[in-house]
Structure 1
Amino acid sequence: MVVDLDWENLGFAYHKLPFRYVSYFKDGKWDDGELTENASITLSESSPALHYGQQAFEGLKAYRTKDGSIQLFRPDKNAERLQKTAERLLMEKVPTDKFVEACKAVVKANADYVPPYGTGGTLYLRPLLIGVGDVIGVHPASEYIFTVFAMPVGSYFKGGLTPTNFIVSEDFDRAAPHGTGAAKVGGNYAASLLPGKKAKEAGFSDVIYLDPATHSKIEEVGAANFFGITANNEFVTPLSPSILPSITKYSLLELAEKRLGLTPVEGDVPIDDLDRFVEAGACGTAAVISPIGGIEYRGKLHVFYSETEVGPMTKKLYDELVGIQFGDIEAPEGWIVKVDQ
């Protein structure tokens, strides 16, 4: 089958593909799950996902390699993170094997929509776990739907690997102290829409969120994790119980140390200590790496390497990670899962 898409200008948007996976948890167990062409979900009007936010999701990608094969990047880590989110929301966990096999099945069924090697495009997967059934009180669902759908995407940010500026938010928090910041739940993202809109209206890409308890330390960059690189070759990223544990971030921490000789540091990142960084960026599955040109804080713009050029170490990190994901560079053991075609 020949798919007629402008592979090099996909953007980051929904495409309805032929197949998706769906599985139901009922009477205390998951069914076997199946591929379906039905892109709609039917659920009770009283489902906890609708009223009380008992829902969680993930995001990962499939990559076309130079030899035409297709591979996933660390899907077991996405499964583990979904399980931790499920624990936080008292939802039924999706076993790792079931999660990974569902992702592989969706990629295989929609293989014609995995962008060709060299276009920069990927097949983005969205696993979704929702609490359903006839529940009206504030308590967990007894039934769940787990589904995985996919779409071909290009760069999350227009312009690709180009530095952009961000502004510190002092009026909004991404998550509450001891709340659901470390869980990948829809409510965290809904809460970020207004501050993100205000930042864009002011000419910035998004906001920098500070820690909700003291407003003195950097936590996240919009919907992505923050990292900074110091003059003495440290790769620094925040550590906090209210930060979403990014699979991309932890991959970069390992690559920074073992492939590029940087010293990995995960800890507090005081907002008043930006001068220590010569480069900075945001990282996540969708964005991969987005270089930060500058951060505005209390009316002053702090510029890192450049507002127009990518820093050399940020570029090396990006090339190493993307090279692994597309199969051009050897991956650490266990990072790559091949998809049969």
Structure 2
Amino acid sequence: MKIDWDNLGFSYMKTPFRYVSRWKDGKWDEGALTEENTITLHEGSSALHYGQQCFEGLKAYRRKDGGINLFRTDQNSQRMNRSAARLMMPAIPEDKFIDAVKQVVLANEEFVPPYESGGTLYLRPLLIGVGEGIGVKPAPEYIFTVFCMPVGAYFKGGLTPTNFVVSDYDRAAPFGTGAVKVGGNYAASLQPGHEAHEKNFSDCIYLDPATHTKIEEVGSANFFGITKDGKFITPVSPSILPSITKYSLLYLAKERLGLVAEESDVRLDELDKFSEAGACGTAAVISPIGGIQNKDDFHVFYSETEVGPVTQQLYKELTGIQFGDVEAPEGWIIKVS
């Protein structure tokens, strides 16, 4: 297969191998690579009827020397197990999770984009409840799979600010499943996201479901802001999915940039205290926010066309670590090859 590495999008592409393991009678099997990219499910599977499923997203990065890095894979494993526990699914041992990811990367090594392209190999671990059933209860069996595809750099021309709009919809209920990575959260976000796109915004801003006064998430990403007095602030809430990118940026803001870095409330009526803002997550790493539309008010941060200096520094530091150009904190990088 001939791939135009410089023009990759973010879409599905079949690669030769994926990993599949099954849980039955209280234990996981050994798991193995397969070339089959379809899954046959019993019609009574709880994943289909009751949403008993969760997933993860992570990337493999080609280094300048040709080797391959994985970034904080242990954190993806731990987050998937928190999601699994919330939905009463079996945990996947961390060593099994990491080994599955490594196997998939090595088996599809030719699909890891070259360093110069800025692309990555996106990996999707997935855990679903399957088997015969119809009552609202945990499934009798489970499938854990990891598949992958090459994806391009999210920003073709570098970082570019975009605008977002505050949504009237709630992303998650208080004390619901907002803090875990389950499919239902994303299905519920499709309509608000579609309406935001129709109004020419990149996506919507979700407020806290209890009071609708504080920012929680930006589409399917976490929010962060840089205050005018040099603090890195990101929202705190039991309804927010704990982004691995966000916690990495919190660490780097404090340890590498010397900023005060904290999780705290981000009130919608206090946006004036921020000089820069952005959304962060695995896909885009950082999406700079130019402005936020809230009913009749449009608030601009640093600029609608230029990226703030702190946001640029954070992006450069984090991507430098991921691609092996900047020294990583201990334990953040696994060298696959």
Q: Distance in 2 between matches of 1:49 and 1:156?
A: 30
TM-score by length of 2: 0.99
Specify which of 99, 110, 115 is matched with residue 97 of structure 2.
99
Aligned-pair CA distance for 1:154 = 1.1
Cα shift at 1:27 = 1.0
CA 1:168–1:20 in 2, change beyond 3 Å: closer, same or farther?
same
Q: Which amino acid aligns with 1:74?
A: R
Tell me the distance in 1 between the aligned counterparts of 2:243 and 2:42.
33
Determine if the alignment matches structure 1 residue 165 to structure 2 residue 163.
yes
Q: What letter corresponds to residue 4 of structure 1 in structure 2?
A: K
Equivalent of 2:190 in 174, 189, 193: 193
Instruction: Report Cα offsets for 1:230-259 as digits up to 9, x if no partner.
Output: 111100000000000000000000000000
Task: Provide the residue aligned with 1:224 in structure 2.
Answer: 221
CA deviation map 1:197-223 (0-9, x unaligned) = 000000100000000000000000000
Match of 1:259 in 2: 256
Partner AA of 1:42 in structure 2: T
Indicate the SS of the match to 2:115.
Answer: coil
SS in structure 1 of the partner of residue 257 of structure 2: coil
Which residue does 1:27 correspond to in 2? 25
- 5+ residue gaps in structure 2? none
Distance (whole Å) between structure 1 residues aligned to residue 226 and residue 116 of structure 2: 29
Provide closer, same or farther for how the CA distance between residues 185 and 234 of structure 1 changes in structure 2, counting only shifts above 3 A: same
Which residue does 1:85 correspond to in 2?
Answer: 83
In the alignment, which residue of structure 2 is the partner of 1:13? 11
How much identity, in percent, do the aligned residues show?
71
**Corresponding position: 1:272 with 2:269:** yes
Task: Give the Cα separation in 2 of the matches to 1:160 and 1:51.
Answer: 42
How much has 1:277 moved relative to structure 2? 0.3
Q: Tell me the alpha carbon deviations over residues 161-185 of structure 1, each in whole angstroms, 9 at most, x when there is no partner.
A: 1000000012x00001110000100
Residue equivalent to 1:337: 334
| Partner SS state of residue 129, structure 2 | strand
Q: Residue type of the partner of 1:234? A: K
CA-CA distance at 1:142 after TM superposition: 1.8
* Amino acid paired to 1:25: W
Partner residue, 2:208: 211
The 2-side partners of 1:25 and 1:306 are apart by 51
Give 1:156 shift: 3.7
Select the residue among 89, 106, 112 that pairs with 2:110.
112
Structure 1 outlier segments of 4+, above 2 Å: 155-160
Alignment partners' CA distance in 2, 1:188 and 1:154: 25
Task: String of CA shifts for 1:284-335, please: whole Å, max 9, x gaps.
Answer: 0011000000001121110000000111100000000000000000000000
From 10, 30, 39, the equivalent of 1:41 is: 39
CA distance in 1, matches of 2:319, 2:178: 27
Shift of 1:155: 3.1
In structure 2, the residue matched to 1:131 is 129
Q: Deviations over 1:25-46 (max 9, x none)?
A: 0111000000000001011010
C-alpha separation in 2, matches of 1:155 and 1:47: 36
SS at match of 2:116: coil
Q: TM-score, normalised by structure 1?
A: 0.98
Give the partner amino acid of 1:149.
F
Relative distance call for 1:157 and 1:200 in structure 2 (3 A) is farther
* Residue 159 (structure 1) shift: 4.8
What's the CA shift for 1:105?
0.3
Cα distance between partner residues in 2 of 1:220 and 1:287: 15
Q: Could you tell me how far apart the structure 1 residues matched to 2:33 and 2:131 are? A: 22
Give the SS at the match of 1:197.
helix
Pick one of 288, 306, 309 that aligns with 2:306. 309
Name which of 48, 67, 70 aligns with 1:69.
67
1:52 aligns with 2:30: no
Q: In the TM superposition, what are the counterparts of 1:138-157 in structure 2 within 5 Å?
A: 138-156=136-154
Equivalents in 1 of 2:58, 2:292: separation in Å? 28
Name the CA distance, whole Å, in 2 between partners of 1:312 and 1:290.
14
Structure 1: unaligned runs, 5 residues or longer: none
Counterpart check, 1:184 vs 2:181: yes
Residues of 2 paired with 1:17 and 1:203: CA distance? 34
* Secondary structure of the structure 2 residue equivalent to 1:150: strand
